[in-house]
Chains A and B, each alone.
Chain A
Amino acid sequence: MSTSALPPINPLLKTCGKCTRDVFASCPDDSIQEEPRSARIRLSVKMNDEYRDVRELPAPLLAQQGAVGPLRPKEQRKAITAGPSAETDASRIIATIDNKPIQQPSTFTSASNLSRALQLHKTTRTIKPTYHPPWKLTRVISGHLGWVRSVAVEPGNKWFATGAGDRVIKIWDLASGELRLSLTGHISTVRGLAVSARHPYLFSCGEDKMVKCWDLEANKVIRHYHGHLSGVYALSLHPTLDILVTSGRDASARVWDMRTKAQIHVLSGHTATVADVKCQESDPQVITGSMDSTVRLWDLAAGKTMVTLTHHKKSVRALAIHPTEYSFASASAGGNNIKKWKCPEGTFVFNFSGHNAIINTLSVNSEGVFFSGGDNGTLTFWDYDTGTAFQNMEDIPQPGSLEAEAGVFCSTFDMTGTRLITGGADKTIKIYAEQTQ
């Protein structure tokens, strides 16, 4: 028959198959899966053919590179980045074929380290900040006769209190912005205010060295905490203990027992005015920022410093503790002046860079909106998680004030975190709110 005249079928089929493959290789389709075994064979052949000579470094180069210690187990870097792993199929196959260890760059060669660091840097830079709606000035309350130096919001979110250079503490309705009450008693600027969440008490401190406890049921001073040697600049309440911490110009922070007025500790160690103090429920329970440009984290039980942070170049005037994250931020003057720290050991997290001013106040809410107010009236809103500024504003002083009176002294978010209350050098209280679409 004619079958004998036909060429053998196998080579024909092979060529045909090759042709088909070549034709369809260009269009990506999952149906054309490379058979693992064939791929493996192909790769190994290719490696043997083409790269046999360069499988090992030449001897002099090897000698130059020096002995490399035993390989550390290769850790899978779970970077903050979300993205596909760089490992591809090919490299894995190569690794399985070539069971020799991959030439790890020596840790002593600086170039490779540098490149690695750069790579790391690049990968860590890819964290995306979360979106926050912009903030807008919604209300200006002009009622004080002096600089508004302190502000505190009541835990019930019904009213807030401000203390000013006119020695008066005023209590305002948060919703309407109406004055409810004026408390007189201080004989100098009121520098710190706090409303207790567990008592009907308002605490205030001032440059007259006085720390007062007001009973909000009688609107009277019921206690004085006597002991500061100079003006008291900041005040904070412990969230879980009946303790009050004040700090001031006498370079000390003092821990008071709320009920007995006894001074439990003098947290001494700073060498200049302690400008701000903050308390939290877990260690470090007291954090102070001082004009000696250090931040100290205190062991409250022992009354001793746990960590001293000396990263700041200028005096630290403001601190802010995040309500839900175990971290805090501190701010001083100059560039790279706002720093975020991780509790409890005070590890440096990153800088919030871009607000070149003397920072007077910091605030942060639970949604991660971080606010910094400058002495020259610049306001910046940041994303707290990434340190990205998402809004820069200028404080507009009320009409009739000098150009120099555009300064922000104090700020706080209300309990919901949707409004920001600031007090400034133009004697006004300004309320900012998130702009809703």
Chain B
Amino acid sequence: MATALASLLPKPVYAPTVSDDEDEAVQVTAAAPSQSVIIRAAVPPYGQRRGWKPTSPDDFGDGGAYPECHVAQYPLGMGKKKASSGNTLALQVDAEGNVRYDAIAQQGQRPGKIVQSQFKDLVPLAHRKDLDESVRQLERPSEDEVQATTEKTRAALEKLVNGKIKAAQPKNVPDSQGKTSFIRYTPGQQGGSDSLKQRIIKMTEVVEDPLEPPRFKHKKIPRGPPSPPPPVLRSPPRKATAQEQKEWMIPPCISNWKNNKGYTIPLDKRLAADGRGLQDVHINDNFAKFSESLFIADRHAREEVRQRALMQQKLAEKEKAQKEENLRMLAQRAREERAGIPVARPADSKPSAERAAAMQSSLGAYGSGSEDESGEEEEDEDEETARLRDQMRQEKRRERERELRMSNMGTEQRAKMLARQQNRDISEKIALGLAKPTLSKESMLDSRLFNQESLSGTFADDEAYNLYDRPLFHGSSAAAAIYKARGNITEGNQDSFGEGTEEGITRALDNDRFGLGQARIGFEGAQDQEVREGPVQFEKDTGDVFGLDKFLDEAKSGKKRGLDMDAGGSRKRQQLDKATERDT
């Protein structure tokens, strides 16, 4: 009947688990003939297991290790070290076949987390080519979306909050009455006595001390590993140079001496105490040397040029003097010749033709007559004169030509010409570098001495009382700056006191500088003084104020004081007179 029922019912979805060993063995034996092949590693029977290594789990069946086999055995895989799956990532490619190198950054992250790991994440949105316009829109989500987000978040957070609050709220408030329940208890064995047939039991929970420390120690579970760090999409920081490091060094917060009260010292003060900015810029001495030597060289060159010019001038003067002398000599000679004085001419020192020509030309004004020339030199003389005449004629012609040219010249040209004639055109000289300004005494002075306060002239003359006639430090002392007279006409302040006029001065005197009001009484007796015009004039008092002259006269006259009776007598008499007056 049971089998009939089983046939009627549908086959069970889950086969009943049969775990009995004997059952399995029976099944195996029963199924053995029907199944064709059962691949089963034959475990050698006991005693024949020498050299046999149980490796697969099948070798153990369900049993344990074989103690007679001296190899490492892991029945049921127990004790076997799990081969780690390895942290090697499989190479992943995207739809276009590009290798996804950032797979490592994405792995191990929570699903839904966005990891920015590629270069495109550094590209500004407007320049990105992998996004279309809809992505570039910066539209806020709609009300509904916001509402949905809010609801979702609220639900999630409420759950959390409720959990937290429950932990905080007291769970078991001890009931003051006690949670008591009464149980009617009927013992099972109705023993001898009837009195104990039924009992009523009062059940009460044990009251817990709310301040009792927890019985079980709460152990904190160590925190899990943090999520893998995100890829860094910035360049590494630049290393600070030694200079920068030095600049960043801020001196500690104490003064150079002591900071008893522990005041905070502002940063700028600390830096000031450090003396970082105090070193002034040091300029190399060589700059000064260089400029000095340049200056000296300049002066030297000027001096040399001046010397040379002087020398040239002297030479020119000398030459001129020589020429004059020469002319004078020639004239002398000519005069002598004319006077008929025979010239003592040495035969060997016969003048050359040129010399003669020059002489002739120079003496042209004298209308040289050579009538007293010797006859044998006549032809010679004729030739000479002819040549001279020719020369003169040529000169004359040149002169005429020049005049013609000049008459044809423009005014400007002529002016230039005139200037040149009068030695006033120096453009050529400038071009040739010959022109130089007239040397004055000032140009010889060292310009470094200009613009400086100096004592005038020399200290040499003791008698001259001009040593202190000007202030030593004029305008530099503090006194000069502070006590500057506002209106010193003598100091060149011409505008003060109404330009020194009378009413200007009186106005200045009346000017109530300190706002004290007009002084009603000046010095006593000053009122009576007559109004003065002009400065106070002192006159020599010729009167004998102290009686010195008289004394000296007396001394000169040689009278003895003791001898002169009348004076002493008179005094006595005076005293006597006084006494008598008193008596009367």
Contacts and interface: CB of A to CB of B under 8 A. Distances in A.
- Asked if A and B bind, the verdict is yes
A312 B234 contact: yes
**Most central of A262, A311, A325 by chain B CB within 10 Å:** A262
Interface in A174-215: none
A301 B146 contact: no
Given A240-B146, A264-B160, A342-B138, A301 B153 contact: yes
Contact of B122 (A124, A307, A348): A348
Interface string B166-205: 0010000000000000000000000000000000000000
Interface of A: 78, 80, 117, 120-121, 124, 127, 240-241, 243, 255, 257, 260, 262-265, 269, 281-283, 285, 293-294, 299-302, 304-313, 322, 324-327, 342-343, 345-351, 402-404
Contacts of A346: 114, 116
Contact of A348 (B125, B136, B268): B125
A282 B153 CA distance: 10
9 contacts: A78-B133, A262-B165, A264-B164, A283-B149, A285-B149, A306-B112, A307-B115, A311-B122, A326-B139
A366 B17 CA distance: 71
A324 B121 CA distance: 24
**Most central of B115, B138, B231 by chain A CB within 10 Å:** B138
Given A306-B114, A310-B230, A325-B140, A241 B268 contact: no
Contacts of A80: 126, 136
B145 interface: yes
B140 A324 contact: yes
A282 B234 contact: no
Interface in B72-114: 110, 112-114
B232 interface: yes
B149 A349 contact: no
A325 B139 CA distance: 6
Contacts of B124: 348-351
Contact of A347 (B113, B125, B164): B125
A241 B140 contact: no
Contact of B116 (A299, A307, A402): A307
Given A240-B150, A263-B164, A326 B140 contact: yes
B126 A124 contact: yes
Given A342-B138, A348-B123, 4 more contacts: A260-B161, A282-B140, A305-B113, A306-B114
Nearest to B231: A310
B346 interface: no
A376 to B, nearest CB: 13
Contact of A264 (B138, B157, B232): B157
Nearest to A387: B124
A282 B127 contact: no
A282 B112 CA distance: 16
B159 to A, nearest CB: 10
A404 B150 contact: no
A255 B153 CA distance: 13
B505 interface: no
Contacts of A300: 153, 157
B157 A241 contact: yes
B141 interface: yes
A324 B136 CA distance: 15
The 7 A-B residue pairs with the shortest CB-CB distance in the complex, in nearest-first order: A301-B156, A308-B230, A350-B124, A262-B164, A349-B125, A124-B126, A325-B138
Contacts of A309: 116, 233
B349 to A, nearest CB: 100
B161 A265 contact: no
Contacts of A127: 126
A241 B154 contact: yes
Contact of A281 (B113, B150, B161): B150
A264 B153 CA distance: 12
A281 B237 CA distance: 35
A404 B268 contact: yes
Contacts of B227: 269, 305
Given A262-B164, A302-B156, A310 B233 contact: yes
A343 B135 CA distance: 11
Nearest to B129: A120
A407 to B, nearest CB: 13
B472 interface: no
B266 interface: yes
A233 B423 CA distance: 94
B387 interface: no
B141 A282 contact: yes
B267 interface: yes
B233 A120 contact: no
A324 B226 CA distance: 35
A281 B149 contact: yes
**Most central of B115, B125, B136, B141 by chain A CB within 10 Å:** B125
B235 interface: yes
